[in-house]
Amino acid sequence: MLNLFATPHSLLTMRITCYPDNLTLEANPLLTVLENLLKAGVRHVHACGGNAACSTCRILILEGSQNCRSMTPAEKKLAQRLDLPVHIRLACQTRITGDVTLQRLVIDKADVEVAQHQLQAHSVGNQVTAAILSASLRGTANFDEENFPYDVVYTLGRYFAQMGALVQQYGGACL
């Protein structure tokens, strides 16, 4: 039976699944993600008090990004300043219209310090495709102790030049 006195929002059941807490909670669409999490007892960091000034409440949207409302002007400004990817949102500004699965990114005091440093540096970094080459040369454990410094530098320089040429031959870059 349809309840004629129900508010439009009470007809919809929305859930937030939150990692690393492994918690699923019913969400109130009138509240931000941060407010919903705090109401559920999740100790979600929000150093600026939920004013889109610090980014410590940022979350990674794992599923349901289509159920997140558009960014507020304050969130947009901070996201542009920090060059945040589209799937990273501020919990203090994000409201949802359906189920969302997210991961809290700032968990403890050490994370807060990192986030504050990133805010001061105006960047949280960029995701890039990268490969790292690690190599061990057989019989070189004491190479630097058994050879003259010039020979060590020459041999390593030659090795890096040859490896660099191979990396570049296959479209890579040596930095």
pLDDT in tens, 21-33: 999 999 999 999 9
Closest CA to 99 of 4, 2, 11, 16: 16
* 8 preceded by a cis bond (ω within 30 of 0): no
What lies within 8 Å, CB to CB, of 32 at 6+ separation is 50, 91, 92, 93, 94, 95
Q: What is the pLDDT of residue 137?
A: 66
CA-to-CA distance for 14 and 42, rounded, in angstroms? 17
CA-to-CA distance for 125 and 108, rounded, in angstroms? 20
What lies within 8 Å, CB to CB, of 34 at 6+ separation is 44, 46, 50, 57, 91, 92, 94
Q: What is the pLDDT of residue 126?
A: 59
**In this structure, how many other beta carbons lie within 10 angstroms of the beta carbon of residue 72?**
16
Q: What is the pLDDT of residue 75?
A: 95
Q: What is the pLDDT of residue 171?
A: 86
Low-confidence ranges of the chain (pLDDT < 70): 1-12, 118-119, 121-128, 133, 137
Q: For residues 104 and 47, is the Cβ–Cβ distance under 8 A?
A: no
